[in-house]
Structure 1
Amino acid sequence: MKTKITEENLSLISLVLRLSIGTLFLGAGIIKVQGGIDGNITYYMSIFEKSIFPHALVKAHASVIMIVEFILAVWLFSGVQLKKAWFASITILISLAFGMIFVYKFDVVSDNYIYVLISCLGVALTPYDSYKIYSK
């Protein structure tokens, strides 16, 4: 049985991608809530202790990443200005992957680049996405 690719199917696929990456960000943010921003900073500082990155940069990133993850999750779920949401997601995912290269966490790096690829597909499907909060 052949499945015809229709705009409705592409719209549904776009929604699934949004929910997938959105829940990834939501889950990552929720995990960080327990330790709070201070706990997140402590964790990041321990991981990047011997990396080439300045401590101030690591601390700044650790301070905001939890909030950024929540914002990206809600933004992707809403579908408002979706192309911008996807590009913001891609930027964060690449920054996370890039950082992990310098602490030799290549499994995390490869996972993040798969998420980047999924997000790029999300960008391509944005014109077909009809599941969004209406905004003018």
Structure 2
Amino acid sequence: MSALSNDQIEDLISQSLEARNNSYSPYSKFRVGAALRTVDGKIFQGCNVENASYGGAICAERTAFVKAVSEGYRRFVAIAVSCDMNQFISPCGICRQFMNEFGKNLEIFFVNDDRTYKRAILADLLPYAFGPEDLPGN
């Protein structure tokens, strides 16, 4: 069961679908959008941004997190991720590790083009994660 209301989930879904429109994906043609909700309700959108060197690309999830963190936000409750395909996509391994930095209990909504979704908790997608609590002094 989600900590968010149905209206909050629908807003997150809408914003993830909208964020796809800003995708820069000339190589893969695989547009991805993300919408990240902070604990106080602010939503940051992100999209994937590809690069000719491929390794310089950044996923939509990390884009949303970088935007939020650069604005001073560190506590998040949920992220919705969507693409153009009518299938549920899951964050890649790098994104899972990146998100883990900000909390293992993050809700993740995998969004289809038709607005249906699946829900997961980050800890279930990244078992035995290495995080800040594993470093000395934390």
Considering Cα pairs closer than 8 Å and 6+ residues apart, tell me whether 1 or 2 has the greater RCO: 1
More helix by share: 1
The TM-score range, normalised by the shorter chain, is under 0.3
TM-score, normalised relative to structure 2: 0.28
* Rg larger in structure: 1
